Amino acid sequence: MTIQSRFGPYGGRYVPETVIPALDELAAAYERLKDDSGFRAELNSLLKDFVGRPTPLYFAGRLTEKLGGPRIYLKREDLCHTGAHKINNTVGQLLLAAEMGKKRIIAETGAGQHGVATATAAALFGIPCVIYMGIKDIARQELNVVRMKLLGAEVVPVSSGSQTLKDAMNDAIRDWVGNVEHTYYVIGSVAGPAPYPALVRDFQSIIGREARRQVLESEGRLPDELVACVGGGSNAMGLFAAFLDDQVSMTGVEAAGEGLDSGKHGASIERGQRGVLHGSMSYILQDAYGQIIEAHSISAGLDYPGVGPEHSWLHDEGRVRYDSVTDAEALAAFTLLSETEGIIPALESSHAIAWIVKHAEDYGKDGVVIVNLSGRGDKDVHQAARALGIME
Amino acid sequence: MSRLEELFKGRSKKALLMPYTTGGYPTVKDCRQVLEAFIAGGADMIELGVPFSDPLADGPVVQASTQQALDQGVTPDDVLQLASEFTSRVPVVLMIYYNCVFAYGVDRFVEAAAAAGVDGLIVPDLPVDEGEEFIDACRARGVDAILMVAPTSPDERIELIAGSASGFIYCVSVAGVTGARTSLSEQLPDFLWRVRARTDVPLAVGFGVSTSEQAAEVARFADGVIIGSRLISMLDEAPDIGDGCRTIVKFLKEVNEVLN
Ligand SMILES: Cc1ncc(COP(=O)(O)O)c(C=O)c1O
């Protein structure tokens, strides 16, 4: 089977001709290796011993009690090495890059989690690594910038445009166009030109495969609902993919920022139109002339005016519901989870928590919901402390 | 044969000169003056860019010009209007990113370009595999869909691209984004021979060409030379628009001397 490049009308490869041969090369390498027993064995061993998988499916008893709704389980991607789901993908892609003989690694990052995960995997494989990051994100995710540098990566500040993830991705693509023969570009979400959306989904799908097995063990049945935050959409696709053929409802939570009507949000599916950004057709935030509109979110990882093409398709098909929560709601959920469960979540993941807080009463007490806790909140403590008035 | 192809085939020069600038840069009014300077300098055709918020095939110089135009609210309609004021005097091709075409409506945009008298459209992020609707619309309206080939394109892709090309083929001189470079790639002649062997459509070379020496070198192997970032830098560095335009006229005349 060849790798999926279109999801309904979405996806494709809208990139300069210069990199098309590299996308062909990547697709061919992935096609050849993805079911190769040696490659799989190596990947599984890295996921187990380096990443720390499987991650627990944790029954959040106090949160469940507090909300008085369904039984809430947290898929603990925050317990992955480096603190978020991003490493599932970077370990897989670095293994590919090494197999393909690539000599240099580049990546874009927003929250810095993908940058840290890429720098980590690059260190593990001994390949030099350059990370592009918007200067606005460098300021709000300082911890991760230091981590990347400690891991030996070069962090290139991006000062163009909105100075966030979108612009970091532009510069990473520009770098790739110029160095395509020996450089491997590690895209951090289910976005970008084909084959990345399918490839990143596959590497992240371990989340849902584990969660499905774990929930069957603990509940003896499938859950009623899956909830995950959606920036580009990799943690959500990773959780959803294994359940798409089941009778399980799913919700992707986008960033409503300061409110959908404020114009300052990251809700590409709810408020965007079809268009092309960073190599694929999907829902994007744009004006009537197709100029990309800056997104806004308190969480750098959701501060992106696009979304992976498969999500746009799952939306149109009605298979997944997409909703959004505001900065304030996410911040309240950040505090709530910290205090009730002793888990400080990433601000991105706090959006998923906030959604179930808002909707718990839609489910009976015997309902079962899995929330993807995509990352831990260490990187966000300064920003949260300022927003909550704990610190100047 | 399209008007552009006829222009290439009927030329007496070694290669045609095609200067690039960003539509609406530094302002819509001053951009008119820049286009006049292109004509005064002996441009055989003009490439005009439609500003886009996320120009991922462009280097820093074109990016900054694009942002400045956008900050003044320049739209694709403004650039079409600007083009229409010149198309009776010199052939104009527009460079536009695909999302701007898509948002406008593919057929509607090509129709508007045709109505403005534009001869060709270059969409740097629309490879031939994704371009069917666009290429069909161009054919239907008598506008050349100018396709790009890169040094990284294998022979099979060059054949695929050549099969849909008209007007000229835009040969990207190096794997990279737009921007002046101190030297041309050593592989350029081999690359151009690979393309030449697979098509009769004229070949123009752009990305990185910034001096008359480089233009002369390119003219040995190609039918057209595209110069962009260097010209925009001249405007950036000049004390005022009149001065910038004079520098451009002088430079283009020098380039033309080596092309004649
Ligand atoms: C913890 C965490 N969750 C979610 C995201 C959003 O990305 P995605 O939607 O691809 O999962 C990020 C991105 O930086 C992140 O760091």
Residue of B53, B124, B177 lying closest to A291 (CB–CB): B53
Buried b (16+ CB within 10 A) or exposed e, A241-261: bbbeeeebebbbbbbbbbebe
Counting Cβ atoms within 10 Å, is residue A65 exposed (0-12), middle (13-18) or buried (19+)? exposed
Which residue, by CA, sits nearest to atom 16 of ligand 1?
A113
Greatest Cα pair distance, chain B, in angstroms, is 48
Does the CB atom of residue A69 touch ligand 1 within 6 A? no
| % of chain A at pLDDT higher than 70 | 99
Distance, in angstroms, between B246 CA and closest chain A CA?
Answer: 30
Q: A342 near A309, Cβ under 8 Å?
A: no
Residues A91 and A99: beta-carbon distance below 8 Å:
no
User: Do residue A290 and residue B102 have CB atoms under 8 angstroms apart?
Assistant: yes
Kindly list the residues from chain B whose CB atom is less than 8 angstroms away from the CB atom of residue A273.
103
* Separation in Å, CA of A125 to nearest CA in chain B: 26
State the Cα–Cα distance between residues A317 and A8, nearest whole angstrom. 9
The reported pLDDT for the residue numbered B130 is 98
pLDDT computed for residue B158 by the predictor = 98
Q: What are the pLDDT digits (tens) for A226-258? A: 999 999 999 999 999 999 999 999 999 999 999
pLDDT at A125 over 90: yes
Three-state secondary-structure class, residue A246 = coil
pLDDT at B116: 98
B129 chain-A contacts, CB cut-off 8 A: 13, 20
Ligand 1 atom with the smallest distance to the CA of A190 is: 10
ipTM score of the complex?
Answer: 0.97
CA atoms within 13 A on the CB side of A69: 19
Q: Cβ separation of A291 and B100 shorter than 8 Å?
A: yes
| C-alpha distance from B43 to closest chain A C-alpha (Å) | 26
CB–CB contact A20 B127 (8 Å):
yes
**Atom 15 of ligand 1: nearest residue by CA position:** A301
- By DSSP bridging, strand A280-284 and strand A273-277 are antiparallel
Measured from the Cβ of residue A132, the count of other Cβ atoms closer than 10 Å reads 24
Q: What is the pLDDT of residue A2?
A: 84
Select from B153, B156, B131 the least CA-distant residue to B144. B131
With beta carbons under 8 A apart, name residues in chain A contacting B102. Answer: 274-276, 290
A345 touches chain B (CB under 8 A): no
Q: Name the residue among A33, A175, A87, A25 with its Cα closest to residue A376.
A: A87
d(CA A380, ligand 1 centre) in Å: 13
Across A195-211, average pLDDT:
98
Q: At A93, which helix (H) or strand (E)?
A: helix A86-99
pLDDT of residue A136: 94
Q: Model-level pTM greater than 0.90? A: yes
- Helix boundaries (H) for A342-391: 347-359, 381-388
Q: Would the CB atoms of B153 and A21 count as touching at under 8 Å? A: yes
Can you give the pLDDT at residue A140? Answer: 87
**Is any ligand 1 atom within 6 A of the Cβ of residue A301?**
yes
Which stretches of chain A are assigned E, i.e. beta strand? 6-7, 10-11, 57-59, 71-76, 104-109, 129-134, 154-158, 183-185, 225-229, 249-257, 273-277, 280-284, 321-326, 368-373
Given this model, what pLDDT does residue B55 score?
Answer: 97
CA-derived radius of gyration, chain B: 17
Distance CA A317, CA A324 (A): 19
Q: What is the DSSP track for A201-241?
A: HHHHTHHHHHHHHHHHHHHSS--SEEEEE-SSSHHHHHHHG
For residue B190, give the nearest of B224, B166, B221 by alpha carbon: B221
Instruction: Name the closest-CA residue to atom 4, ligand 1.
Output: A348
Interior angle at CA B104, CA B103 and CA B105, nearest 5 = 90
Phi and psi at residue A375, in whole multiples of 5°?
-165, 170
The rounded distance, in Å, linking the Cα atoms of B113 and B111 is 5
Query: Could you tell me where the DSSP H helices lie in B43-151?
Result: 60-71, 76-84, 98-104, 106-115, 132-141
Distance CA B13, CA A18 (A): 29
Positive/negative CA dihedral, B132, B136, B137, B139: positive
Question: Using only C-alpha atoms, what is the Rg of chain A?
Answer: 19
Q: What value does the mean pLDDT take over residues A18-29?
A: 97
Residue A48 among the catalytic residues: no
CA distance B156 to B195: 11
């911890």: which residue's tokens?
A143
Helix, strand, or coil (residue B27): coil
Nearest CA in chain B to A281: B99
Mutate to test the interface with B, among A5, A6, A10, A14 (most CBs of B within 10 A): A14
| CA distances (Å), origin A186, targets A52, A94, A117, A197, B71 | 21, 8, 10, 12, 32
In this predicted model, what pLDDT tens digit does every residue of A362-384 receive, in sequence order? 999 999 999 999 999 999 999 99
pLDDT of residue A392 exceeding 70, the answer is no
Q: Chain B: give the shortest CA distance to residue A330, in Å.
A: 29
Residue among A75, A86, A166, A379 flagged as catalytic: A86
Which of B56, B101, B172 is facing A173, going by the closest CB pair? B56
**Nearest CB partner across the interface for A288, out of B55, B57, B103:** B103
Please name the member of B100, B103, B125 whose beta carbon is closest to the beta carbon of A16: B125
**Cα–Cα distance measured from residue B196 to residue B158, given in angstroms and rounded to the nearest whole number:** 10
A165 Cα nearest atom in ligand 1: 14
Atom of ligand 1 nearest to the CA of A77: 1
Cβ–Cβ gap B101/A290 under 8 Å: yes
Asked if B250 contacts B241 with a C-beta cutoff of 8 angstroms, the reply is no
- Domain ranges in chain B are 3-255
Rounded to 5 degrees, φ, ψ at A148 are -60, -45
Nearest CB to B98 within list A14, A177, A288: A14
Distance A236 CA to ligand 1 centre (A): 9
Cβ–ligand 1 contact at A84 (below 6 Å) = yes
Mean of the per-residue pLDDT values for chain A? 97
CB distance A114 to ligand 1 below 6 Å: yes
CB contact under 8 A, A17 and B172: yes
Backbone angles phi, psi at A205, to 5 degrees: -70, -10
Do residues B39 and B84 touch, judged by C-beta distance below 8 A?
A: no
Residues in chain A with CB shorter than 8 Å from the CB of B151 are 18
Question: pLDDT by residue for chain B (260 residues), tens digit each?
Answer: 899 999 999 999 999 999 999 999 999 999 999 999 999 999 999 999 999 999 999 999 999 999 999 999 999 999 999 999 999 999 999 999 999 999 999 999 999 999 999 999 999 999 999 999 999 999 999 999 999 999 999 999 999 999 999 999 999 999 999 998 898 999 999 999 999 999 999 999 999 999 999 999 999 999 999 999 999 999 999 999 999 999 999 999 999 999 99
Assigned token pair, A324? 């959004």
Give the C-alpha separation, A86 to A264, whole Å.
Answer: 26
To the query of whether residue A374 is one of the catalytic residues in this protein, the response is yes
Query: pLDDT value at position A391?
Result: 74
Angle between helices A381-388 and A327-341 (to 10 degrees): 110
pLDDT-based confidence at residue A1 (cuts at 50, 70, 90): low
Q: Which residues contact B195 (CB under 8 A, 6 or more apart)?
A: B149, B158, B162, B169, B171, B203
Q: Rounded CA gap, A166 and A345, in Å?
A: 24
Homologous superfamily (CATH) for B3-255: Aldolase class I (3.20.20.70)
Peptide bond into B26 cis (omega under 30): yes
**Cβ distance A362 to A330 under 8 Å?**
no
Chain B residues within 8 A of A17 when measuring between CB atoms = 127-128, 147-150, 152-153, 157, 161, 172
Name, in order, each residue with C-beta under 8 angstroms of A107's C-beta and a sequence gap of 6 or more. A90, A114, A115, A118, A129, A130, A131, A132, A172, A185, A186, A187, A188
Report CB contact under 8 Å: A12, B54: no
CA dist., res. A85 & res. B253, Å (int): 58
Interface test with B, best of A187, A286, A289, A293 (most B CBs within 10 A): A289
Angle at B145 between CA B83 and CA A170, to 5 degrees: 80
